[in-house]
Amino acid sequence: MFSFFPHLLGIRVFISFVGLVGNVFLIFSIVQTTISRVKSFEFFLLGLAAANLEEILIVNIYDIIIYQTSSAATSNWLCRSLKFLTMFGEISSILFTVLISVYRYQKLRDADKRVQAQIYLDSIRSAKMMTGVCVSFSVLLSLPIFVMRVRGSAENGTSSSTGCPPDFFQCDRDNCDLVNGIYKYLFILLCNLLPLIIVTVTGCLIVSVTLSQRKTVTPAVSVSGASQLARRRRRDPRLQRSTIAVLAAMGLFQVDWTLYLIFQLSFSPHDFPFWAEMEFFISTSYTSISPYVYGMGNNLFSLKALIKK
């Protein structure tokens, strides 16, 4: 029978509370800006915070209410629906992080040559389209939840009395249905490994571009207005602080999802009694901490942003 370990429950509640406050505050800070003035980067942050908030809320409902409910009346459909929403929030958070990292690299790349010219994602229309792509892709990758085979408690000791398993993939090395196995490794490939590679490569490129710009030697003689503007953009302290925040969030993302990959591929809920708690701490650490990193790095968590009309 699956149950919470009391000494971990307090930590779980604290992490959930921190994540809820951070994401709500980030959404509120961005919404304070008139919608017509919201930039693409803020729009992506808004999508990320909304996905984080949804994931934290649903994963707590799934883990706390469903696991701890002893009523047999809890339907399998409710289990699948809650897990679908959990996976949707998790995938959306990952995709928005990838989108933010790619956007920041494009903004920094060739900034001195581009001067005032905008990149594709600077357009709010393009930003909304990419947001729609992320949401649609998240829905598509979460839908297999409804066709996976869920073993009953007689078949799997890790299932709760309600039929909601701690490991919803239900795919161990020695006992894995075909559909479950395909979905598990497709999810790991498309939603964990590939985004991790993209974020890592993009992070390295951002660091490389930032260092190369700092090493650029500008002549003391008079330069054109365009060159002056480009130089100011490179040295804009707000852009630098925002870039540092993006890099810090990307680093947190890399650590978080690397641990998640190791955890999913190395352990089984049959052999690891802390399976649900460990999966919760790994999967929600990024969603709980990242809003603070982005918010403070972009001056969205300041008193000025809070009282802005």
Write down the pTM of the prediction: 0.83
Task: Assign 132 a pLDDT band (cuts: 50, 70, 90).
Answer: very high
3-state class of 171 per DSSP? strand
Q: What is the pLDDT of residues 50-73, one digit of tens each?
A: 999 999 998 888 776 665 554 444
Q: Which stretch of 76-85, 153-162, 184-193, 297-306 has the lowest confidence by average pLDDT?
A: 153-162
Q: Quick one: angle between helices 6-31 and 275-297, nearest 10? A: 30
Are 85 and 176 in contact by the 8 Å Cβ rule? The answer is no
DSSP string spanning 3-67?
A: ---HHHHHHHHHHHHHHHHHHHHHHHHHHTS-GGG--HHHHHHHHHHHHHHHHHHHHHIIIIIIH
Which single residue is written with the structure tokens 């998240």?
138
Q: What whole-number percentage of the chain has pLDDT above 90? A: 28
Task: Assign 32 a pLDDT band (cuts: 50, 70, 90).
Answer: confident
Tell me what pLDDT residue 74 has.
Answer: 52
Phi, psi for residue 111 in degrees, rounded to 5: -65, -35
User: Which of the following CATH numbers is that of domain 6-215+223-307: 1.20.1070.10, 1.25.40.10, 1.10.540.10, 3.40.50.720?
Assistant: 1.20.1070.10
| pLDDT greater at residue 40 or residue 218 | 40
Which single residue is written with the structure tokens 């790994």?
282
pLDDT at 200 over 80: yes
| pLDDT greater at residue 204 or residue 9 | 204
Tell me what pLDDT residue 253 has.
Answer: 93
Task: Assign 194 a pLDDT band (cuts: 50, 70, 90).
Answer: very high
| pLDDT greater at residue 277 or residue 256 | 256
| pLDDT greater at residue 277 or residue 65 | 277
Q: What is the pLDDT of residues 215-242, one digit of tens each?
A: 654 444 444 444 554 454 445 677 788 8
Task: Assign 124 a pLDDT band (cuts: 50, 70, 90).
Answer: confident
Tell me what pLDDT residue 118 has.
Answer: 72
pLDDT at 168 over 80: no
Task: Give domain limits for the chain.
Answer: 6-215+223-307
Tell me what pLDDT residue 1 has.
Answer: 40
Q: Which stretch of 124-128, 193-197, 201-205 has the lowest confidence by average pLDDT?
A: 124-128
Q: What is the pLDDT of residues 93-104, one digit of tens each?
A: 999 999 999 999
